[in-house]
Amino acid sequence: MPNVAAPAHELQTLIDSLYSKYRANHAGEVATYIPELGKANPDHFGICLITTDGRVFEAGDCDAPFTIQSISKPFAFGLAVEEMGAEEVLQRVSVEPSGDSFNSIQLQTGSNRPFNPMINTGAITVSALLHAKHGAGTFDHLLERFSAIAGRQLAIDEAVYQSERRTGHRNRAIAHLLLNFGVVHEDIEAALDVYFRQCSILVTARDLARMSATLANMGRNPMTGDSAFSIRHVKDILSIMFTCGMYDYSGQWAYRVGVPAKSGVAGGVIAVINRQLGIGTYSPRLDQYGNSVRGIEVCVDLASRLGLHVFDCLNMGSSFLDAVLNPTS
Ligand code: DON
């Protein structure tokens, strides 16, 4: 009997074709404002999809390590809400899109709260809240929780951490402004240290897909089966990712892709297809908003081909994707 290879799964064929299509896109620039990030290989490109029943479809550099950066923000916010309750956290940080860049220094008029936890003002506030509760053990605690969400032990990139700590003057200015308005506690240097470390956690595109799939799977890691997040708080995280996750591109993202997402300046993007799958991409060249150029193009394309947009009236997001994942023949 001839040894005939089984045809590739339709989703794998799609990922392979998107990888080939966008590999030639060299638009954008690698971030250099944190000097160590400038050393990234601009050609790296990985796309990984993980379903909520643990199937992996991937192409390209899905094992290449890079720092999580702002993709840490929704997970840190989730921890804070889980541990302190939404009411306490929302007294310190709002949930409004800012329409402004990730490192904007603006606070809400009147309340002096950060606009949302996806931009630096809000994320530093969340790190400070976690630090006020856990003290010197905050980062170890956060790393342990992030590792459970990813389903493997994560670690930080010491060189990126030192680089950001040394050059993070704008974040220091933000932290002191927050202290001035009484939004954060006085040990702001220690809280900033947590923030710089959490941004420096090393991940791969596959880790990001796993973390995203954990959110899609209502807080349970689909690979390990461990409950990494309380199901009650997944909604809190996804709704802010939907409205604020892509900074001042969030409106365009909601229009074009229509799913909760988050990007980081090292070139990672996550997108969550609720109850179905998690997407993680890596490509370090960024657009003017600080979002990965290829990551956005891949997600736009995937959303339109698979009908992922939550308001897609053709309702392909459930039925078409379901058929792709579970063919009857
Ligand atoms: O605060 C910073 O500058 C970074 N550590 C994180 C920023 C980031 O990833 C923005 N994302 N596009």
Q: pLDDT band for position 8 (50/70/90)? A: confident
Q: pLDDT band for position 318 (50/70/90)? A: low
Q: For residues 289 and 250, is the Cβ–Cβ distance under 8 A?
A: no
Reduced to 3 states, what is the DSSP secondary structure of residue 275?
Answer: coil
Which tens digit of pLDDT belongs to each residue from 250-309?
999 999 999 999 999 999 999 999 999 999 999 999 999 999 999 999 999 999 999 899
The ligand 1 atom nearest the CA atom of 33:
3
Which tens digit of pLDDT belongs to each residue from 23-78?
999 999 999 999 999 999 999 999 999 999 999 999 999 999 999 999 999 999 99
| The two three-digit tokens of residue 164, written as one number | 């950001």
pLDDT at 311 over 80: yes
CA–CA separation, 53 and 211 (whole Å): 14
| The two three-digit tokens of residue 222, written as one number | 């689909």
The ligand 1 atom nearest the CA atom of 196:
5
Roughly how many angstroms between the first and final C-alpha of the chain, as a whole number? 22
Q: For residues 50 and 213, is the Cβ–Cβ distance under 8 A?
A: yes
Q: For residues 82 and 130, is the Cβ–Cβ distance under 8 A?
A: no
Closest CA to 229 of 79, 4, 93: 79
The ligand 1 atom nearest the CA atom of 200:
5
Q: How many CB atoms lie within 10 A of CB 99?
A: 13
Cα separation values, 62 from 65, 113, 140, 250, Å: 8, 38, 26, 25
What pLDDT shows up at residue 319?
67
Q: From the CA of 124, how far away is ligand 1's center (Å)?
A: 11
What pLDDT shows up at residue 315?
54
- Tell me 259's DSSP state: S
- 116 residue type, one letter: N
Alpha-helical runs (H) found in the chain: 10-23, 72-84, 86-92, 120-134, 138-150, 158-167, 169-180, 188-199, 205-216, 231-244, 250-256, 293-306, 316-325
Q: Which of 70-74, 86-90, 100-104 has the lowest mean pLDDT?
A: 100-104
Reduced to 3 states, what is the DSSP secondary structure of residue 195?
Answer: helix
- Tell me 202's DSSP state: E
CB-side neighbour CA atoms (13 Å) of 88: 16
pTM recorded for the entire structure: 0.95
Instruction: Give residues (CB < 6 A) around ligand 1.
Output: 69-70, 102-103, 120, 164, 171, 199, 263-265, 290
Q: Residue with the nearest Cα to atom 4 of ligand 1?
A: 69
Closest CA to 52 of 216, 205, 260: 216
CA–CA separation, 275 and 272 (whole Å): 9
Which tens digit of pLDDT belongs to each residue from 160-173?
999 999 999 999 99
CA–CA separation, 298 and 22 (whole Å): 7
Q: From the CA of 33, how far away is ligand 1's center (Å)?
A: 10
Closest CA to 94 of 110, 123, 124, 116: 116
Closest CA to 236 of 82, 102, 107, 70: 82
Average pLDDT over the chain, rounded to whole?
94
What pLDDT shows up at residue 324?
76
pLDDT at 316 over 70: no
Q: From the CA of 281, how far away is ligand 1's center (Å)?
A: 16
CA–CA separation, 293 and 25 (whole Å): 8
Q: Which residues are catalytic?
A: 70, 73, 195, 247, 265
Q: From the CA of 101, how far away is ligand 1's center (Å)?
A: 10
Out of 103, 105, 162, 167, give the residue to mutate to test ligand 1, the one with the largest number of ligand atoms within 8 Å of its CB: 103
pLDDT at 92 over 60: yes
Out of 116, 178, 199, 208, give the residue to mutate to test ligand 1, the one with the largest number of ligand atoms within 8 Å of its CB: 199
Burial class of 278 by CB neighbour count within 10 A (0 to 12, 13 to 18, 19+) = buried
Q: From the CA of 55, how far away is ligand 1's center (Å)?
A: 30
CA–CA separation, 170 and 104 (whole Å): 9
Average pLDDT over residues 120-129: 98
Burial class of 102 by CB neighbour count within 10 A (0 to 12, 13 to 18, 19+) = buried
What pLDDT shows up at residue 314?
65
What pLDDT shows up at residue 168?
96
